[in-house]
Amino acid sequence: MSLDRRRFLAQSGIAGVGVALSGAIDALFTAANASSGPRHGYGALVPDPAGLLDLPSGFRYRVLSREGDVRPGGVVPSSFDGMGAFPGPGPEVRLVRNHENRVGASVPVVAPAELTFDPVAAGGTTTLHVRPDRVEERISLGGTSTNCAGGQTPWQTWLTCEETEVRRGDGGHEQDHGWIFEVDPYRTVRNRHPTPLTAMGRFAHEAICVDPRTGVVYETEDAYGEKLGCFYRFLPAKPLGGHGSLRAGGRLQVMRVPDVPDLSVVQDPGATFGGVEWIDVPDPLATTTSVRLQDYGPRGVTHAEKLEGAWWGTDGGAYFVSSFAARAHGSEADHQGQVWRYAPATRELSLVVVFRSTDSDLFRTPDNICMTPSGGLMLCQDGDGDSYLMGTTVAGEPYLFARNRQNIGTESAPAYGEFAGACFSTDQRTLFVNCYAPGTTFAITGPFQR
């Protein structure tokens, strides 16, 4: 389906509303099929003869890793999710990749004892050393559960997030879960004896981003059931202190937007709310009650469904994504995705864009997100069915950048073609991205600077 910009804006319900952002993040829309020409992205997608990944002409991919591969460090685990890219020596790039495995996973994370938090849990992280002529990968964290997304720190480590609230004893687990762990991509010795960052809270974590000026960590929660998730900030006792500094503790706070108990009701891009408040979480360990359900007084706090991707903008704001909301799930309104910006300097929260229901699967459910070398955005689409990497130009033109061709499964072994973990190398020449299932990590190169 081809959709020009005017029709796209009309169908999305944002015609006439400017969503240009300051700094290097200049525009944000969902995706539409791209026309040829540089102001419309990189051109139409070209079917891949190998049946893996459709890309625009001039781009090519390299498969770095697949679940079930046998490496010197063991069998590559399944369920590829969030990922971060770090500079290595010379041309090498280090990737830290999450594995969102639960007990019973098809290919669990199997780590040495010194890298294992809970021997029953099946999740963790893998660190890849990507070189021009080969790829080496080894488990860097094991014994964690449901490692979904996370984020990079200014001191070049990875914070991996457990998206679960499973307790010790549940399913045989020997530890409580729902923590954040720090992974060092350079020194494996630092990953021994995994230590949960308990002061950062125990809940269904999704992603984080860090204010590089203050060290404040912003956290998203992807929770269902009684009340939806929240948006948090962590005030570290030792801000910007380098590896291990977050173990010193700090204060976990939850966001309250006055008179907005549920973010789904906000449907107008550009809507801005001042006076955002941050309320101390009474029990970050969730000893008896989930963090989002604790007593925050008669005014409560602000909730939202499916809070997922987060990143720090070069304009001094923390951006975060709500992939969708549905009244059937307990939200007060429906949408197919929101992107929000919180400005610490002014304590303002703004809705950048809302994705409304359309007749196309292209216009929905953003998840992980990163910035492109040209200043636009790359968004990973969540959900089943056809999955796309969606981009924007700095002028706000939406385009499709990639289509996953691997999402044809069987009833007994379904594929889940969600893209995840998109991130660029430091030199901005390579885009790394995962396919969730079958777990595949791609390195994509081409004329990104065009």
Q: What is the CATH number of the domain that holds 135?
A: 2.120.10.30
What pLDDT is recorded for position 155?
A: 98
- Please count the other Cβ atoms lying within 10 Å of the Cβ belonging to residue 259: 9
Share of the chain above pLDDT 90, in %: 69
Does 26 score more than 50 pLDDT? no
Q: What is the pLDDT of residue 409?
A: 57
Query: Would you call 171 helix, strand, or coil by DSSP?
Result: helix
Tell me what pLDDT residue 395 has: 60
**pLDDT > 70: percent of the chain:** 84
Instruction: Confirm whether 119 is domain-assigned.
Output: yes
> pLDDT value at position 339?
85
**Model pLDDT, residue 16:** 32
Structural domain contains residue 272: yes
Residue 450 lies in a domain: no
14 vs 135, more confident: 135
Q: Summarize the confidence of residues 48-56 as an average pLDDT.
A: 93
> Tokens 């992807």 — which residue?
222
Q: Which domain covers residue 215, as residue numbers?
A: 5-445
Residue 273 domain-assigned (yes or no)? yes
Q: Is the peptide bond before 438 cis (omega within 30 degrees of 0)?
A: yes
d(CA 157, CA 166): 26
User: What domain count does the chain have?
Assistant: 1
- Over residues 85-133, the pLDDT tens digits come to 999 999 999 999 999 999 999 999 999 999 999 999 999 999 999 999 9
Half-sphere exposure of 242 (CA within 13 A, CB side): 1
Structural element, H or E, at residue 280: strand 277-280
pLDDT of 4 strictly over 50: no
**pTM for this entry:** 0.90
pLDDT at 269: 85
Quote the pLDDT of residue 2. 24
More confident residue, 258 or 11: 258
Supply the pLDDT for residue 352: 84
Query: 416-424 and 231-236: which strand pairing?
Result: unpaired
